[in-house]
Amino acid sequence: RIAYVNGAYVPLAEAAVNVEDRGYQFADGVYEVCLVVGGRFWDEEGHLDRLDRSLAALEIAPPVGRRALRLIASEVLRRNRLRDALVYIQITRGVAARNHAFPMRPVPPSLVVTAKRFDLEKSERLAAIGVSVVTAPDIRWGRADIKSVSLLPNVLAKQAAAKAGATEAWLVRDGKVTEGASSNAWIVTEAGEIVTHPATHEILSGITRRTVIDCAEALQLKVVERPFSAAEALRAQEAFLTSATNLVMPVVAIDGRKIGGGRPGPMARRLREAYIRHCA
Ligand code: PDD
């Protein structure tokens, strides 16, 4: 496998950054994960717009323009002979002697792009069964809307899920489910309303989330952006999660208790199909 690191395409095994990279020292950086199917980026503009917003929030100047970034990502795909892939883009503030404040004289940001194979058929098979989630306290900072590489709370929550044999952790703050450790969380109420947490500073505003809302509205389905509790989720008709890595994925159990009879619901299936149709 080949990775792009600061201007060079190198074997992944040799791809490395300086130990004084601020991404390594302080998690002072941001990232994006984009899905590519058949060589085409899904929701490309959304992901690149969010990358710009994350960079702006951290006052990191984009190391390359959007066209160049697209070319680099395409070249990484080409060199890895990938048509269906997850592309990972990471930008950090760069290399400087360790000191919390930004370097006095700005340094060039570090840019890394990698890609790994994505198996859409495998994802379809998983979606036919659904996944389980566990709840975990949301102990993250107040700017979860920035797609920062500082992911320790997410890592710990995901590990708790893995330990419990679940796929995802749904994070709970003040009694409300904010989102998953690496996905957005949704339920479908008895009244048929599709509910997901509003895009505040408490969640990462998912690009898949936004497109799924648009798809739902195009189908004249009712989407309500409001917080919901874990108890409400347990009573829901259906639950599902969204992310670039999962598209729309039915959730069939929360904390070991079945949702929707333990089988994927019609709404999640419909939205998954609509999302795929929209992007493909
Ligand atoms: N995660 N919420 C969190 C905390 C996330 O990390 C992600 C994505 C999402 C969904 O966003 P999107 O629909 O734009 O992928 C929500 C990526 C996939 C990751 O960290 O691997």
Q: For residue range 14-35, what is the model confidence (pLDDT) as tens digits?
A: 999 999 999 999 999 999 999 9
Q: How far apart are CA 260 and CA 270, in angstroms?
A: 15
For residue range 28-84, list pLDDT tens digits in order.
999 999 999 999 999 999 999 999 999 999 999 999 999 999 999 999 999 999 999
Domain end among 102, 118, 134 = 118
Question: Ligand 1, from 90, 151, 204: best to mutate by most atoms within 8 Å of Cβ?
Answer: 204
Atom of ligand 1 nearest to the CA of 88: 21
Task: Please check whether residues 42 and 28 belong to one and the same domain.
Answer: yes
Domain end among 59, 86, 118 = 118
Could you list the residue range(s) of the whole structural domain that residue 42 is in?
Answer: 2-118
The pLDDT of residue 212 is 98
Q: What is the mean pLDDT of residues 228-239?
A: 98
Instruction: Say which CATH number the domain at 54 has.
Output: 3.30.470.10
Task: Please check whether residues 131 and 212 belong to one and the same domain.
Answer: yes
- How many angstroms separate the Cα of 23 from the Cα of each of 36, 98, 115, 129? 26, 11, 19, 38
Domain end among 118, 147, 177 = 118
Task: Please check whether residues 251 and 153 belong to one and the same domain.
Answer: yes
Pair of tokens at residue 88 = 């990972």
Instruction: Decide: helix, strand or coil at residue 148.
Output: strand
Number of domains in the chain: 2
Task: Please check whether residues 187 and 272 belong to one and the same domain.
Answer: yes
Of the pLDDT bands very low, low, confident and very high (cuts 50, 70, 90), residue 167 is: very high
**Bridge partners, 187 (sequence order):** 195, 239
Ligand 1 centroid – CA 183 distance (Å): 5
Please tell me the residue having the least CA distance from ligand 1 atom 2.
Answer: 183
Task: Please check whether residues 46 and 65 belong to one and the same domain.
Answer: yes
